[in-house]
Amino acid sequence: MKPHVMLNAEMIEIIDGKNFAYLATTMADGSPHVSPVWIDRDGDLLLINTVPGRMKHRNVSRDPRVAISLMQMKNPYRHLLIRGRVIEQTQQGALNHIDRLARKYLGKNYPWKDRNRIVLRIKPEFAKIIFD
């Protein structure tokens, strides 16, 4: 297992900002699958909320390796690339978490009806800010 990567202040600024993330997972046949997601963190662990049974959830349940790309909205030529593993999947606190994410991205509590949620906790193993 690769070592845990500590996020620096620049990385935290991108994750904590209202920046969308793109989560890459691996399909059963080995092909990639990418989903736009809301993201936040708990210290150096990344948190993504989804509905149990969605493709990204099925993929990480089979293979926990993921890649995440975040583009900084205020400077779209600056983005953060992270590779890591889903180390925990939990429904505990998932409804509060989706409301917190919705307040970050929408400015209000989660407005949709899919209230069966799960939080994916991701341990970064590689992280780099890239300027293109």
Please give the chain's pLDDT, 132 residues, in tens: 677 789 999 999 999 999 999 999 999 999 999 999 999 999 999 999 999 999 999 999 999 999 999 999 999 889 999 999 999 999 999 999 999 999 999 999 998 877 799 999 999 999 999 986
Residue 27 lies in a domain: yes
Q: What is the pLDDT of residue 30?
A: 97
Residue 2 lies in a domain: no
Q: What is the pLDDT of residue 70?
A: 97
Residue 1 lies in a domain: no
Is the pTM higher than 0.75? The answer reads yes
Q: What is the pLDDT of residue 1?
A: 61
Residue 18 lies in a domain: yes
Residue 32's CATH number: 2.30.110.10
Burial class from Cβ neighbours inside 10 Å (0-12, 13-18, 19+) for residue 94 reads: buried
- Domain total of the chain: 1
Residue 104 sits at the vertex; the CA angle it makes with 100 and 107, to the nearest 5 degrees, is 100
Instruction: List the structure tokens of 18.
Output: 């209202």
Residue 70 lies in a domain: yes
Residue 31 lies in a domain: yes
Enclosing domain of residue 79: 9-131
Distance from C-alpha of 14 to C-alpha of 86, rounded to nearest angstrom: 20
